[in-house]
Amino acid sequence: MSSNTETKTSASINIDGKQLDCPIVEGTEGERAIDISKLRAETGIITLDNGFVNTGSCTSAITFIDGEKGILRYRGYGIEELAEKSTFVEVAYLLINGKLANKTELDAFSQGLTKHSLLHEDMIHLFSGFPSTAHPMAILSSMTSSLSTYYPESHDTPSDEQVDLDIIRILSKLRTIAAFSYKKSIGQPLIYPDNSLTYCSNFLNMMFAVPTEPYEIDPDIVKVINQLLILHADHEQNCSTSTVRTVQSSGASMYAAVSAGISALWGPLHGGANQAVLDMLEGIRASGDDYKTFLGKVKDKKTNIRLMGFGHRVYKNFDPRAKILRQSCDTVLSKLGVSDPLLDLARGLEEEALKDEYFVSRNLYPNVDFYSGIIYKALNIPVDMFTVMFALGRIPGWLAHWKEQRDSGVKKIFRPRQIYTGANEQNYTTIDQR
């Protein structure tokens, strides 16, 4: 446990006439948890918590969320201020190293990212092996795993210097992989990284430049990309970050853990929701449904339809990231002169849902994914790249958690228990007797 946790009181659990006193652990923001680590050893009983709704899997000093008040802070800094004043590279440094970088530190970090942006040339051939219809999340995850084959020194027990180098490599090269996978999917020549460009400009250039004509990088778009990546950079123990920590706990490399995190993020209930929101809006428009008809389908449990981009496990009031993006959406669309009927549709759905008893009683509010897709669409980022954009933003968070767990020195493999509900002991019968 980190040194910033305090044990103040205890909770008593009475089981089969036996009492166990469990310490109550309190974090720096007053969140409390019952430490049940001795429960099974002392009583033979375990806890059961589907979806880990009530389970703290670790202590962490990286990100604080208050879901009731709509607070999100990275290393103590409010998301609103970071989104307005900072850059993605600076936020990545903050999350991974625990403090805002001074000029020298930030320059060194940025230079590292610039220097390590190229992929090993042999890796380029791997892209040709994927069908043109391959989802870029599948490519990103496989390529991250493949990247590890070029750095065997990162396996086993990497030194502190090696860990720092792997962090830089992953942050820089995954951006190149993401852009290359897009270029491959549309059959355009790869645009290699350009060392004269900053992190987000370099990404835009690799995505949208072609060798035949100049590509002007719009500073307003660079600013929005920075903001989007900052807003996605960490979110404490979400599904993909917990996956990264789980894989780290087995001693697997940073590349293996991040590759697994990318796969976990892909699902529509997690990072895949941004693509699902756009698909949903397109579907509503194509069907000619009005908001009420569509929301009626969502509320009918038999349909299994969810209002994508709504609801959150932690935020039960509002998602502060959605609030920022709702505003940015307006700014970006008007700056680019884009008028998108899907934005009007999203606004209408939001307004209708926020006064509907079904959503109100379940505390369902727009989340970060509700508006991000509309912005990506306005920036000409294709729909199946939306979740890749989320992944690029989340990399610093995954790396920060991987490092925090590794640096804690605690070597405890994540290995939950279960309550077995299958058949009792049976005798094997040979096939002719079945």
Which residues are tagged catalytic?
Answer: 312, 369
- In the chain, what are the helix, strand and coil shares in percent, each to the nearest 5? 55, 10, 35
391 Cβ neighbours under 8 A, 6+ residues apart: 137, 140, 174, 178, 262, 265, 271
Does residue 341 touch ligand CMC according to CB under 6 A? no
Collapse the DSSP code of 400 into the 3-class scheme (helix H, G, I; strand E, B; otherwise coil) and give the result. helix
Question: Minimum CB separation from ligand CMC for residue 392, in Å?
Answer: 15
The CB-based long-range contact list for 129-133 (8 Å cut-off, 24+ gap) reads 130/181, 130/184, 132/184, 132/185, 132/187, 133/185
Output the residue with the shortest Cβ distance to ligand CMC. 311
* Amino acid sitting at position 361: S
Residue 254 or 391: the one with the smaller Cβ distance to ligand CMC is: 391
Residue 192 or 291: the one with the smaller Cβ distance to ligand CMC is: 291
Binders in 257-276 for ligand CMC, by CB under 6 A = 269-271, 273
Helix (H) or strand (E) holding 34: strand 32-34
Among 364, 385, 392, 399, binds ligand CMC (CB under 6 A): 364
75 Cβ neighbours under 8 A, 6+ residues apart: 61, 62, 63, 94, 95, 98, 99
Site string for ligand CMC, 211-250 (x = CB under 6 A): ------------------------x--x------------
- Nearest-angstrom CA–CA distance, 313 and 329: 24
Residue 206 or 277: the one with the smaller Cβ distance to ligand CMC is: 277
Residue with tokens 């625990």: 98
Does residue 51 touch ligand CMC according to CB under 6 A? yes
Element counts in the chain: helices (H) and strands (E): 18, 6
Question: Minimum CB separation from ligand CMC for residue 12, in Å?
Answer: 29
Does residue 297 touch ligand CMC according to CB under 6 A? no
Does residue 397 touch ligand CMC according to CB under 6 A? no
Segment contacting ligand CMC by CB under 6 A, of 25-33, 134-142, 171-179, 307-315: 307-315
Question: Minimum CB separation from ligand CMC for residue 309, in Å?
Answer: 5
Question: Minimum CB separation from ligand CMC for residue 380, in Å?
Answer: 23
Does residue 169 touch ligand CMC according to CB under 6 A? no
- Nearest-angstrom CA–CA distance, 137 and 155: 24
- Burial string for 172-190 (b: 16+ CB within 10 Å, else e) reads bbbbbbbbbbbbbbeeeee
Site string for ligand CMC, 176-215 (x = CB under 6 A): ----------------------------------------
Q: Which residues bind ligand CMC (CB under 6 A)?
A: 51, 235, 238, 269-271, 273, 298, 306-313, 362, 364, 367-369
